[in-house]
Amino acid sequence: MLKKEIFNSDFASKSEKSGRLIPEWLEEIYNQKWFKLFVSKDLGGLELSLPEALRVEEKLALLDGSLGWTVTLCAGAAWFVGFLDPRISKEIFSDPKVCFAGSGYVGGRAEKKNGFFLVSGNWTYASGALHATHFTANCEIWEGGDPILDSFGNPIVKAFILKREEVEILDAWKFMGMKATGSHSFKTENLNVPENRLFEISPEKVTRNEVIYKMPFLQFAEATLAVNILGISIHFQDLIREIFWNRQKVKPLDQKYLEYFEEVEKKSRKSIDKKRSNFYRQVEEAWYELEKEGKISSPQLAAISKVSRSLTQSCRKWNSKMYPFAGLEAAREEGELNRVWRDFNTVSQHSLLIFPF
């Protein structure tokens, strides 16, 4: 049962001011196993299907943007368990408070030695860094002082699992929104990392049998990010409706203004509801295909990418149209609407979903 009493505006404001998820939220996350949405049950996870997990992530983002985003990114990083050495996975996930934070940025270099790698680098935007137990870090692979290249002449990149005590967290999250995600940078220098903590995200490198690990990472990421933008947008527009009608009670507007608001509000609700339905329908069709065939066809994958972007673009469009109806209240720095607006205009800048194609 979700403890709704701790997921309110006061707690969200407290979390934002602290620059991290507050202890009350973390305790509930551990109890609900939300950092392990995609982790198999034998490792203490929930082992949810993608459609099931997306609905959880949307609900959390609706409660608070930083909450939903941190759970989504940390649970997404824990999805990498499907590609890890099983012996390492068992050791890592024996901790009920295990939390992965990671960065998609190729910020490191791993020099191949005899039985280990010497890892150095600086990685950005690791959401949940302040309570993470492990970090994932992308590195170029070097040997003998030179990068190892693929058949096209590009540096080979692989990922590593780093322990919390092996990295230095840098206070680098200086942005207007999503402050409670604590999406700081981290670095390490000349760290000795065993070979069995290297992993690679590819169909040939899957180490577990659960269906979720057969999901291509790009569409997995696009869909999970899109539902966060959706949840934040629903919260945003609900607040605008509440503010508008409260203002109307105090100082009634002319009928033509009311009609204009009602027209825009109706179009916004209808558009986002339709995009949301289309999104989940497409994801469920793709998931059914994955369960049945063991893979998702190229047309289905393209459709997931398209519907994720379309949903995001619709939220961006209608949030912009609805925003003026909140009046000056929208700009009040300590207000809930201003926090949600800042969160939306921060998270919607993610490079995966900026473009509509």
Pair 159, 217: CB distance under 8 Å: no
What pTM was computed for the model? 0.96
pLDDT in tens, 118-170: 999 999 999 999 999 999 999 999 999 999 999 999 999 999 999 999 999 99
- Residue 145 sits in a domain whose CATH number is 2.40.110.10
Helix (H, G, I), strand (E, B) or coil at 176: coil
Confidence of residue 238 (pLDDT cuts 50, 70, 90): very high
Together in a domain, 306 and 288: yes
Is the four-CA dihedral 63, 65, 71, 76 of positive or negative sign? Answer: positive
Q: Flag whether 94 is in a domain.
A: no
The two most distant CA atoms of the chain are separated, in Å, by 78
- Residue that the structure tokens 């404001």 belong to: 13
Together in a domain, 169 and 72: no
Tell me the CA distances in angstroms from 203 to 85, 154, 208, 303, 304, one per residue in order. Answer: 15, 20, 11, 20, 19
- Residue 70 sits in a domain whose CATH number is 1.10.540.10
- Residue that the structure tokens 């020099």 belong to: 111
Which pLDDT belongs to residue 72? 98
- The radius of gyration of the chain from alpha carbons, rounded to an integer in Å, stands at 22
Give the percent of the chain with pLDDT over 70.
99
Q: Which of 171, 205, 239 is the last residue of a domain?
A: 205
Instruction: Supply φ then ψ for residue 28, to 5 degrees.
Output: -70, -40
pLDDT in tens, 25-48: 999 999 999 999 999 999 999 999
Confidence of residue 1 (pLDDT cuts 50, 70, 90): low
Tell me the DSSP string of 81-124: GGGS-HHHHHHHTTSTT--EEEEEEEEEEEEE-SSEEEEEEEEE
Residues 6 or more apart whose CB falls under 8 angstroms from that of 176 comprise 342, 345, 346
Together in a domain, 104 and 15: no
